Chain A
Amino acid sequence: MVNVKSWMSKNAVVVFLLIIVVAFSLASPTFLTMGNLINVTSQMSINALLATGITFVIITGGIDISLGSVAAFAGIFSAFVGLRFPNMSTGSSLLIQVGSAIVIGGICGLFNGMMITRFRVVPMIATLAMMTMARGFAYVVTGGQPVYGLSNNFAWLGAGRILPTEDMQLGVIPIITLFTIVVVVLMHILLTKTVFGRHVYAVGSNESVAHLSGINVKNVKLRVHILCSIMAALGGVCVASRLNNGQPASCDGYEMFAIASTVLGGTSLTGGSGSVARAMMGVAIIAIINNGMNLLQVSSYWQKVITGLIILFAVIVDMAQKNQKN
């Protein structure tokens, strides 16, 4: 009994997630169906990628608000490149998408990191500049028009499924879900099992101590920003692939959902602590709230209010637990 109690107090977020799931399954008969839960995993994917990237930045004590714009720019860019290959196979479309994400994300992240480490611009301002620039480039590339007319294979990553069954001819498991799981697990390993991961925590806990113990702080920060932008760009190409269309206005404000998810998962904005796995809890909570409210036909105005309140509530509960421990 004591064990259960202490587990619950340590994992308030998990308990909270379970409560939401139970509440929605009672309120809506469709919520717990296989089809819906699988949809939720595909809807979560984009935010999961973004939240994973920003978790690294937040652990070092930084912030990046350019995620949504970088995602949109990378998505547009991949669609733009994809348009040049009308007969592409699924393999080459995947190559174009991941390649675009690495190139665009790499450039944007390098720029952010350089501004922050070499020119000593405050992270909030450096990434604010990138936020407006990347969005601008997304419009420059397209002249404000969506990029359409892509081959159906371009949609394989975002909308494709595998394992067809009797009643689901197109397949059951979304490829985007599998892709996201693989990427997120790799990132989790990078953060928990490598020297680089330990350096990320060290820089976030105490920069000067990290510096004195021989860690190249600037280098760690630069890499973290590059990583974060590449993850955002991956999210962006997934959106473009999901829609089979490059929308210059897409992913607007997604950085806020990513930051909220990470904080929901218990990562502190002051840096030094946090984990990718916990951020995923936050991602799941936000996705399930949106999905459940869509099923229940809650008006979109109230959805916003409720989402905000739940984020606050979860963080307050989490803080209370931490204070008890101390």
Chain B
Amino acid sequence: MKRKSISIVLAAVLVLMALAGCGSSTPATSQAAPASSTAPSAASSAAPESAADKKITVGFIVGSREHVFYNLIEAAIVEESKKLGIEAIVYDGELDANVQSNHIDNLVAMKVDAIALATVDAAGVGPAIDAASASGIPCFTFDSGYDSDSIICHAGTDNVEGGRLGAQEALRLAPKGSSVAMIGNPASASVLDRQKGFEEVIKAQTDVEYPFFGNYEGDANVAMSLTQDWLVSKPDLAVIFCAGDPAATGALSAIKAAGAKTLVVGFDGNPEAIAAIKDKEGDGQWWVSEISQNPALIGTTITQQVHKYLTSGSVDAKLIPIDPYIITAEYIEKNGL
């Protein structure tokens, strides 16, 4: 009997926990965002059809809610939508082209005014985009695009250029005759582009060697092990270019633990990178530079373009590059980040 009551209490506690969890989930949108699930979730309580006041409704699909970068884009989208009076419905693409395609089908069924997404895999999600476009819903892409006439406008970073900037920074920091390494993730198209840009510049020069490339699989702990192993072979490794902030976090821990003098160039421009570079007495001794993508500007730009198209029927350009830029301690001081 006692046992039974314990399990009932336990079940009740868990239900409460689950409810509490739902209450404080990821950044709120201008309406309750549909809960993310692998099954196509039902439309949120406020169905767009009920908007009798002709409010513009736009469906946004981010690459993944489990990525800081996309969370920053989403925050900017939500903020800009509020400003422009757009009803934004934001879905989580879960880094899965299938999930994204389901979301697109749902948004078409909901008869939204436009769809904007960061494609996970252009080939996989392409057919769903084409179908949505054919049914008369204008489609936009941000961050990662889809090369087709179905797309009205794309706003995103040129990741190859970002990789080149990373290489330039590495060459600026590495003394002649030393060596540099890169941590990347060939599973991700945008990170692969960064590797292309980086290697293009590094392989075109003879001042520094490039002995190591490693795949951290998006796991900071793997990046740490990689760096540990490299530092054993080459204790005087000058610079590591990390094509993502989790990789830089892992590399930094390994360098600190080994007492090495290796410098880190990160990529993303996430808050933890800014905090590390700022900390000149601490982590800023190693983590000295960051290639930033400007996720907020990507979110703001695409929201503005969607709004412009729906209100005036045209966009500024079919392709709007959001240039990556370099963040160093000087840059942070100058701009008061």
* Chain A residues within an 8 Å CB radius of B14: 111
Give the docked Cα–Cα distance between A174 and B277 (Å).
Answer: 27
User: Which A residues lie within 8 Å of B217 (CB)?
Assistant: 300
Q: Are A39 and B232 in contact (CB under 8 A)?
A: yes
Residues 36-60 of A, flagged 1 when their CB comes within 8 A of B and 0 if not, give 1001001100100000000000000
Chain A residue at minimum C-beta to C-beta distance from B272: A148
Residue ID in chain A nearest B274 by CB atoms: A148
Is residue B249 within 8 Å, beta carbon to beta carbon, of the partner chain? Answer: yes
- Residue-wise, chain A 245-274 has the 8 Å CB interface mask toward B (1 for contact) of 101111110000000000000000000000
One of B10, B21, B186, B220 near A137 (C-beta < 8 A): B21
A300 with B224: in contact, given A39-B229, A114-B7, A243-B249 (CB under 8 Å)?
no
Question: Which chain B residues in 265-283 approach chain A with CB under 8 Å?
Answer: 270-272, 275-276, 282
Say which one of A3-11, A96-104, A224-232, A289-297 lies at the interface with B: A289-297
Which of A140, A168, A300 is most buried by chain B, counting CB atoms within 10 A of its CB?
A300
Q: Does A145 contact B (CB under 8 A)?
A: yes
Interface flags for A232-245 (1: CB within 8 Å of B; 0: not) read 00000001001111
Q: B225 and A290: CB pair below 8 A?
A: yes
Tell whether A36 pairs with B214 under 8 Å between CB atoms, given A114-B7, A250-B221.
no
Shortest Cβ distance from residue B78 to the other chain A in the assembled complex, whole angstroms: 13
Question: In the complex, are the beta carbons of B186 and A301 less than 8 A apart?
Answer: yes
Q: B215-253 CB contact bits vs A (8 Å, 1 = yes)?
A: 101111100111011101100000000000110011001
| Contact in complex: B219, A250 (CB < 8 Å) | yes
CB contact under 8 A between A146 and B246, given known A36-B229, A140-B21: yes
Q: List which A285-313 residues lie within 8 A (CB) of chain B.
A: 290-291, 294-295, 297, 299-301
Interface residues of A in 91-147 (CB under 8 A from B): 110-111, 114, 118-119, 136-137, 139-140, 143-146
Q: How distant is B37 from chain A, measured CB to nearest CB, in Å? A: 10
Given A39-B228, A294-B225, A300-B186, does the pair A148, B275 have CB atoms closer than 8 Å? yes
Q: Which of B21, B25, B221 has the most CB of A within 10 A?
A: B221
Residues A146 and B229 in contact in the complex (CB < 8 Å), given A111-B14, A242-B221: no
A149 to B68, CA, bound (A): 16
Rounded to whole Å, the gap between the CB of A162 and the closest CB of chain B is: 13
Q: Is the Cβ of B257 less than 8 Å from the Cβ of A139?
A: no
Whether A139 pairs with B65 at a CB distance below 8 angstroms is: yes
* B313: Cβ under 8 A from any A Cβ: no
Interface centre among B21, B27, B65 (most CB of A within 10 A): B21
Q: Interface size for chain A: under 10, 10 to 19, 20 to 34, or 35 or more residues? A: 35 or more
CB of A152 closer than 8 Å to a CB of B: yes
Taken together as a complex, chains A and B put the C-alpha atoms of A318 and B277 apart, in Å, by 51
Instruction: Find the A residue at minimum CB distance from B72.
Output: A145
**Contacts A242-B221, A252-B219; is A140 near B66 (CB within 8 Å)?**
no
Contact A247 B256 (CB under 8 A): no
Partner of A250 from the list B10, B213, B220 (CB cut-off 8 Å) is: B220
CB distance from B301 to the nearest CB of A (A): 22
A139 CA to B26 CA, complexed, in Å: 8
A139-B270 Cα distance, complex, nearest whole Å: 16
Contacting pair A144 B221 (CB below 8 A): no
List, in ascending order, chain A residues with CB within 8 A of B66's CB.
139, 144, 248-249
Residue of A46, A114, A243 contacting most chain B CB atoms (<10 Å):
A243
- B249 surroundings in chain A (CB, below 8 A): 146, 148, 243, 245, 247
Closest Cβ of chain B to A38, distance in Å, is 9
Which residues of chain B are within 8 angstroms of A46 by Cβ–Cβ distance? 221
Are A30 and B233 in contact, CB atoms less than 8 angstroms apart? yes
Query: Are B25 and A118 closer than 8 Å at their CB atoms?
Result: no
* Interface check B261, CB cutoff 8 A: no
Query: Would you call A184 an interface residue if the criterion is a C-beta within 8 Å of the partner chain's C-beta atoms?
Result: no
- The verdict on A188 contacting chain B, using a C-beta distance below 8 Å, is no
Contacting pair A243 B253 (CB below 8 A): yes
Interface residues as binary, B31-56 with A (CB distance below 8 Å gives 1, 0 otherwise): 00000000000000000000000000
Q: Is B259 an interface residue (CB 8 A)?
A: yes
Instruction: Say yes or no: A294 contacts B224, CB within 8 Å.
Output: no
Residues of A within 8 A of B212 (CB): 297
Contacts A139-B65, A144-B66 hold; do A243 and B250 have CB atoms under 8 A apart?
A: yes
Does B71 belong to the interface (CB within 8 Å)? yes
Q: Which residue of A lies closest to B215 (CB)?
A: A300
Q: What are the residues of chain A within 8 A of B211 when measuring CB–CB?
A: 297
List the B side residues contacting A137 at CB < 8 Å.
21
- Chain B residue at smallest Cβ distance from A29: B233
Known interface pairs A118-B7, A245-B220; A144-B228 also in contact (CB < 8 Å)? no
Question: What 7 additional pairs, Cβ within 8 angstroms, besides A168-B259, A245-B253, A249-B246?
Answer: A36-B232, A140-B25, A144-B65, A251-B219, A297-B211, A300-B186, A301-B186
Q: List 26 A-B contacts (CB under 8 A).
A: A30-B232, A36-B229, A36-B232, A39-B232, A42-B228, A43-B225, A140-B21, A140-B24, A140-B25, A143-B71, A144-B26, A145-B71, A148-B271, A148-B272, A148-B275, A149-B272, A149-B275, A243-B253, A248-B66, A251-B221, A291-B225, A291-B229, A294-B226, A295-B233, A297-B211, A299-B215
